[in-house]
Amino acid sequence: MTTYLLAGGGTAGHVNPLLAVADGLRARDPEAGVLVLGTREGLEARLVPQRGYELLIVDKVPFPRRPNAAALAFPVRFGRAVRQVRGYIRAHGVDEVIGFGGYAAAPAYVAARRERIPFVVHEANARPGIANVLGARSAAGVGVAFPGTPLRGGEVVGMPLRHEIVDLDRAARRAEAAAEFGLDADRPVLLVFGGSLGAQRLNEAISGSWRDVLDAGWQLLHATGDRSDLVDPDVPGYAMRRYLDRMDLAFALADLILARSGAATVSEISALGIPAIYVPYAVGNGEQRLNAAAAVDAGAALLIDDAQLTPERVRDEVVPLLGDAPRRAAMQRAAERVGSRTGTEDLIALADRALGR
């Protein structure tokens, strides 16, 4: 029996692909040992036990960004975290570590190297995080979701996706999806969302242009986010939600998507072959623009800068696309070429090679 330690967490961008791989390993071999390494503070503390996997806790030790007291304490704290992971590896007879970035991944990579077991790195973003940059230097295998990701030895394996997305038959679920959101299955739908907290720029742009979308003969499914103060206009053809619990059904209904370009969002939309308009989040290190680059270059998506997304821009660029069926069809074909639903299998195959199978 092979025992795997999957390390990563903090955000959904790390936890979701980790859980997809955990499920893939367990489905392939129900006898395999699948353990997850995470922190008490991350999203994994809630999601991993819910999925039925044992969560092993490691101390959260952020990399120092500037010389201060935390930087002085970092070597001792990080060394303690590495010792914690080495203890887990020995106690559970771990054969391989698969890391997804985040606070738990860095000590896991070091611990695996010191215990002389192979470890594999997966990077979800087109611009990698520091833990994976360092880990890739001595990893037995490095998988990336997007081409051009600057990691040593990086191999494009795609994004491990939730089974709800991988198995989604959009056409077969469209009527169910329309009923879920109170929309007409026979009329096209523009899906707008910006993550669980929403995106103020997207919300403001749609709040000033939703009538134009409806006048073009389309419907709107708009997830505003939990913090939004937008008032639902309560008109036929416009379904406003704070949060989409059934993202699979939202995707089943979408004929065009306006969204941020987080790694998981781009990967899921491309895998499903849905034309998209991406509005990269302007804060951060620019990874969202890079995440969308392959889809944009392939003709599967358009990109609008955050500062340029206004109600006027929606009317001038998005609404004309709603009326251009041939262009949308070409974007859909391009999305089907650039997307992949086999990220989980491809990453597991990479892990198998690293393990010497």
In tens, the pLDDT along 84-94 reads: 999 999 999 99
Does residue 319 carry a pLDDT above 80? Answer: yes
For residue 136, the number of C-alpha atoms closer than 13 Å in the C-beta half-sphere is 20
Q: In percent, how much of the chain has pLDDT > 90?
A: 87
Q: Is the pLDDT reported for residue 357 higher than 80?
A: no
The CATH number of the domain covering residues in 3-161+341-354: 3.40.50.2000
Q: Where in the chain is the domain with CATH 3.40.50.2000?
A: 3-161+341-354, 168-338
Superfamily, domain 168-338: Glycogen Phosphorylase B; (3.40.50.2000)
- At 197 the pLDDT is 58
Order of all β-strands in the sheet with 96-99: 54-57, 33-38, 3-7, 96-99, 119-123, 141-144, 154-156
Residue 269 has pLDDT above 70, yes or no: yes
> What are the pLDDT digits (tens) for 147-174?
999 999 999 999 999 999 999 999 999 9
Global pTM?
0.92
pLDDT tens, 164-211?
A: 999 999 999 999 999 999 999 999 999 999 865 568 999 999 999 999
- Cα–Cα distance between 252 and 263 in angstroms, integer? 20
Write down the residue that tokens 């669980």 correspond to: 196
Convert the pLDDT of each residue in 15-24 to its tens digit.
Answer: 999 999 999 9
